[in-house]
Amino acid sequence: MTDAQPPDDMKLQRTSRDRTGVPAALAGWLATKLPAGADPAVTLHSSIDANGMSSETLSFDVSWEADGARHTAAYVARAVPSAQDFPVYESYRLQDQYDTMRLIGELSDVPVPRVSFMEPTGEVLGTPFFLMDRLGGVVPPDLMPYNFGSNWLFEASPQEQRRLQDNTVKALAGLHSIPQADKVFDFLNPEQPGTTALARHLARTRSWYEFAARDLGPSPLIERALGWLEANLPETTETVLVWGDARLGNMMYEDFEPVGVLDWEMASLGPRELDLSWLIFAHRSFESITENFGLPGMPHFMREEDLVAAYRELTGAEIGDLTWYHVHSAVNWGVLFMRTGARSIHFGEIERPDDIETLMHHRALFERLVNELGTGTP
């Protein structure tokens, strides 16, 4: 248990949207999608603040008339953030997210919410969005991070925590096992130049950093790491579906088993190590934050050796040294913190710091990792 509070720049405002007109706008739009005479009514729920830093999420119920009876359904709308709200990413490619979730649902047993209607024009809510079924379950919180204490996962037994860990790896292995991913998900291939999917993925990372640096200025730490990544790019041509944001906070659980794999803004193609490292590094980053607060954290949980062993047993894939991929994960977390920090500055939640790297909550971990690199290859 802990009474610790997050620093101000971890209390993230995501949108300036006035929600008062949203139910009527959604109901009017749904009336054009449902059969004539459906007369839909929308009840909007409170926003979800414990997780998610990128897309805007609207949770609501809708009821409508059909066959002489009133029907109800529970939905979540994933909406592109408006330009005035400092979007985390350069581009949200909402149709790609929609198609990725639809194909995963068709081609695998990995639990993703069923997607339904797409609104690509932005004329209804001001930005494009799509609807997906709202699932029941619980999510390990990001704010405060689950390893800070006072939440269901922290207070679970070691056996329950291990069951969740193993089931999470199983879901990731299922995603990576979808056959012919390079053809099925070819629309996810990064548009940046490069001779391999990994090279293009790294070029996309640099582009994202340069996008973030336009508002805050450069980060010497990120630039040093990017230079090393580019000089030591692994020679791999493996291509699987890369979730891109593989972490516990993007999964919904029931009885410590995933019932929803969420958030596909960062989906791409590339080697499986990208996702495996992200899963490991996300927990490692949270552990580094607990160190800053003098909290015990969960050092027994989500350990690299355990995750790699479980993944290898499920897939038969040999996973070598992950150093390059961990540095890549550290860079992406750094860019993510730059963008969410810029948004907090925009909303007046924090002052612009003289040193932008203070926005990076994993800074100590990142610096330690980069300082250990030297000049050799991974």
Residues serving a catalytic function are: 245
Three-state secondary-structure class, residue 269? strand
User: 30-36 — which CB contacts under 8 Å span 24+ positions?
Assistant: 30/62, 30/64, 30/117, 33/117, 34/64, 34/66, 35/66
CA–CA gap between residue 57 and residue 75 (Å, rounded):
10
- 252 and 138 Cβ atoms separated by less than 8 Å: yes
Which whole-number Å values give the CA distances from 341 to 132, 222, 281, 286, 332, in the listed order?
Answer: 29, 15, 20, 17, 14
**Cβ neighbours around 355 below 10 Å, total:** 10
SS3 68: coil
- Alpha helices, H only, 177-300: 181-184, 197-216, 220-231, 273-293
| Bridge partners (DSSP) listed for residue 71 | 64
Say which DSSP state 359 is in: G
Beta strands in the chain (DSSP E): 41-44, 56-66, 69-79, 115-119, 129-133, 240-242, 251-254, 257-261, 268-270
Burial of 107 (C-beta count, 10 Å sphere; 0-12/13-18/19+) = middle
